[in-house]
Amino acid sequence: MNELAHTLMEIIDIPSETGGEGRLATHIAGRFLPSWGRTGVTRIGNSVVVGERTGRPLILLLGHLDTVPPQGQGPAHVAGGRVVGLGASDMKAGLAVMMQLLLDPDVVAGPYDVVGVFYDKEEGSADDNGLEPVLERAEWLSDAAFAIVLEPTDLELQLGCVGCINATVRFEGTAAHSARPWTGENAITKAGRWLAALHEREPEVVDVAGLEFREVATVTLIRGGVARNIVPADVEINLNYRFAPNRSLGDAEARLREIAADADGIEIVDRAPAAPIPEGSPYLQAL
């Protein structure tokens, strides 16, 4: 097993579900302290910044420490030539690559100030994302000439980033006993036609500066009912909408409301803007 795979398996086996990234942050900081020293390793909450400014063009490598909740996965292992485990793809493989690059003497001595940002709470809401406190504490990171987020892309360069809005979509009915359902209205089955249409909805392909983005609306959570013998009076559905960089947050919210126009209520839960495409960047051309 090569060093990169060993590092990946090591960090997969350190649990880091959103909100519980502390152990992994401590592990990563400890790996860099011997080579970078205390001036080159900064702990900000459960995030870690590795690197220093020396006056060369600043290139950022970014990756989030957290994973989605476990779903029965065991320890990291190799299967079919691939490392398998919770967060292997999203995005501990990217973290392992960042760690190897930032410990490579040729990268450290190269033409750029390459700085790694290992941040927490990416998988949660935009308001809680750990990157903002890092940028507030280490303001010099905002001087970056170029940034690479090592999310899984199947070895493709993917420029810009779709934005995201989560909304609670609500359908209302009238409670009744399940033995007399005609005396009420079932909110869950009322939502059925809209859910069925959403299930058949194809991604909307959007061209932005010659690049193809797919706008999608996905149901990710549903809650309804209070008992097995009660007709549910309401149902709440989380609608996750991803939109192309040519839409503002306002435009995207308006589009989401069009998609959920049949609902009885819509409440925006959180919003994150899309990232623009770095057109004309010499660092992109070099990459």
> Which residues form the catalytic set?
66, 122
Match 């051309």 to its residue by tokens: 285
DSSP H or E run through 269: strand 265-272
Integer Cα distance of 225 and 183 in angstroms: 16
Integer Cα distance of 46 and 119 in angstroms: 7
For the chain, give the number of residues.
Answer: 287
Closest CA to 121 of 131, 110, 112, 111: 131
Contact 61, 101 (CB under 8 A): yes
Contact 283, 57 (CB under 8 A): yes
Integer Cα distance of 47 and 133 in angstroms: 9
Contact 103, 157 (CB under 8 A): no
Integer Cα distance of 225 and 254 in angstroms: 29
Burial class (CB within 10 angstroms; exposed 0-12, middle 13-18, buried 19+) of 206: middle
Q: Is the previous residue joined to 99 through a cis bond, with omega within 30 degrees of 0? A: no
- What SS3 class is residue 190? helix
